[in-house]
Structure 1
Amino acid sequence: MEASRGVANAARSVDIMNATAPPDLKTMRATAIELLRPDDAPDMLPAAGEELATLTDTLRGHLELLIPEVEQAAGRLPENSVTRSGAMYCVGEARGKLRAPELSFAPLAGSVLYARRLARVLAALCDHYETVTSGVVETHWRTAFVRLADHCLTCPTCRAMDDEGANLGLPCETHDRLYDEYREAWARARDGHRRSAEASA
């Protein structure tokens, strides 16, 4: 009886440790980088076949772990916080990427394009997690991301959908400009994280 109780207590302790352990952002970023180098060039595929499937599954697993962490931490910030708004928007983007193969984009499920989409949103979510848990309010890329998000949420052109509820993807000069600004700022931040990871390796 005592032995059984000891095993049960040990199991509960492991569950508690696993539940409270912070996300392993270093591992998550390293996985994302596998899909995002070199410079997202279409003729430099990072993986194929089983390797790509494994990376995709790993990215999905990381996102499933990180999404609720970011959401909970962001939810503790003031409702008018730019940091909260940016993090919540990224959470929505991440959930959308996870659901994509279940909707009308099933062919994406095993593609490099889909894996890279997961990698980009995972890298962004890692940054948001650090922001909402450390009290850091702004960086250049987050400011650019919030501007892009605000535009996408309010622009009639960007929000236009067909009769089946699929986005029409209409051209929008403002979106393209804000997206380019965000990508440039995010690339600088990503390169900084990559150099930090390589320096500490």
Structure 2
Amino acid sequence: MKPVLSHPVRLADLPQRKSTHVRLVPDAGQLESLADRLGVDQFRKVRMDLELSPGPGRDWTLTGTLGATVVQPCRVTTDPVTTRIDDTVTRRYAADYDIPREEEVEMPEDDSIEPLPALLDLGDVLEEALALAIPDFPRAEGAEDIDLTATPAGAEPLTDDAVKPFAGLAELRAKMERDED
């Protein structure tokens, strides 16, 4: 899927001895499209400042900052919640990165390493960073938790303690030790 704000960069065409700076600022229409795509009510503003640095070898490093203001509904009251996002972005593009082919693989310790692309779309990086930074469960100030207990008529509702199978073992052990004394 093509990013809302497409900004393709061919890393081989960039200077190989110095960093390249890029600033991405979506216009009003792109902000609206980003909000639709990422499932939020509105982005008031979004800005990403990036630096692409060559090396070591044929590898590249992308570092930058993401700033955004997002409006989304509170998960408790559905009132609009405005959140300020200030996040750092880091990606390393490795020329010798091998994509695992097995069905199950261990996650690497450094999850910022990716294969070196022939063409890097910085719009994709922006959308991915935004998607990761948006709060999953925004809450309006003063919103209280909702008690979502459902039980059949005449039954006792389950409590947190009741669904923990080993919750009473410590008490039972203490009682048994008291009985031995």
Pairwise TM-score range, normalised by the shorter structure: under 0.3
| Larger radius of gyration between Structure 1 and Structure 2 | 2
Provide the TM-score with structure 1 as the length reference.
0.21
Greater helix share, 1 or 2? 1
Provide the TM-score with structure 2 as the length reference.
0.22
Greater strand share, 1 or 2? 2
